[in-house]
Amino acid sequence: MELSHKDLLGIEQLTAQEISLILDTAVSMKEVSAREIKKVPTLRGKTIISMFYEPSTRTRTSFEIAGKRLSADVINISASSSSVVKGETLEDTGRNLQAMNPDLLIVRHACAGAPKLLADALPTPVINAGDGSHEHPTQALLDAFTIRERLETLAGRSVLIVGDILHSRVARSNILLLNKMGAAVRVCGPLTMMPRAVEQLGVEYVPCLTDAVRDADVIMMLRIQKERQQGARFPNEREYSRFFGLNRAVLRHARGDVLIMHPGPVNRGVEISPDVMSLPYSIILDQVTNGVAVRMALMYLLTGK
């Protein structure tokens, strides 16, 4: 089986079978990272260019590590060091990079649809590494891999996503993926951070956090997306934390073995308390580890045919 699209622009375009293919491929990719020599020749001779027009620690680093573990040549471009600062358009930048014959482009951009613009204009496969409030498909795939690693299956699991659902591309991609894979999704957060008619996304909205955590298999906390908000959505961070922050008192209402996730970067003491981050069922750093395997799998599936 192969992926049916040239690019990975969002979870929306993937079938459940394609999601399973990516996650199954990532299982063997993870094994490579456990070896003493963490390198295989799979993508030797391939050139991967990552274009990050927004800040990133996890996504950018793990794409670079993923490409290098597969022996590809990986080149990183950031907006501040590119000719974007001289006024070049994204499409012109893409056409100039295309002229150097890359095998894969990875794009993060503040504008929703920027990766699609490049994907439509260029023959090279494009991976969306996060575009505005639209999608962050590789984050949802690594989250799914991490849940599956712990709970074996996504089908029938109950996943709670807490926070800024309205502006979060992580939430959007996760909701799409979890629905496709048969998980039940609940969301919680201030009404000012919920999309209108949120239930139409295929989720249950529970306004109170202590109610929302009950019986959940997974609690996924989100960072407040200040960079994408227009106007104040809540009085202040202390107030937000009081009602929607995950702490030990809230966890007393949850299952003892509930998995705690966060895509990062974390605002410690706002959406999650530091002591909760280090509980045995906190798998936040597992998510980061698995990001490399999932991105290796995608690089292989999109370029290695």
**Contact residue for ligand CP among 125, 130, 132, 189 (CB under 6 A):** 130
Of residues 58 and 253, the one with the C-beta less far from ligand CP:
58
3-state SS record for 7-61: CECCHHHCCHHHHHHHHHHHHHHHHHHCCCCCCCCCCCCCEEEEEECCCCCHHHH
Of residues 10 and 263, the one with the C-beta less far from ligand CP:
263
Q: Taking CA 106 as the corner, what is the angle to CA 101 and CA 35, rounded to the nearest 5 degrees? A: 100
Q: Which phi-psi region, left, alpha or beta, contains residue 107 (left: φ > 0; alpha: ψ -120 to 50)?
A: beta
Work out how close the CB of 64 gets to ligand CP at its nearest, in angstroms, rounded to a whole number. Answer: 11
| 55-65: burial string, b at 16+ Cβ within 10 Å, e else | ebebbbebbbb
Q: If binding means CB under 6 A, how many residues of this protein chain bind ligand CP? A: 10
Q: Binding to ligand CP (CB under 6 A): which residues in 248-267? A: 263-265
Of residues 56 and 93, the one with the C-beta less far from ligand CP:
56
Of residues 132 and 263, the one with the C-beta less far from ligand CP:
263
Rounded CA-CA distance 269/65 in Å is 30
Work out how close the CB of 51 gets to ligand CP at its nearest, in angstroms, rounded to a whole number. Answer: 14
Could you give the string, one character per residue 29-58, with x where binding to ligand CP holds by CB under 6 A and - elsewhere? ---------------------------xxx
Q: Binding to ligand CP (CB under 6 A): which residues in 135-194? A: 139
CB 54 within 8 A of CB 110: yes
User: Length of the chain in residues, anyone?
Assistant: 305
Work out how close the CB of 59 gets to ligand CP at its nearest, in angstroms, rounded to a whole number. Answer: 3
**Contacts to ligand CP by CB under 6 A:** 56-60, 130, 139, 263-265
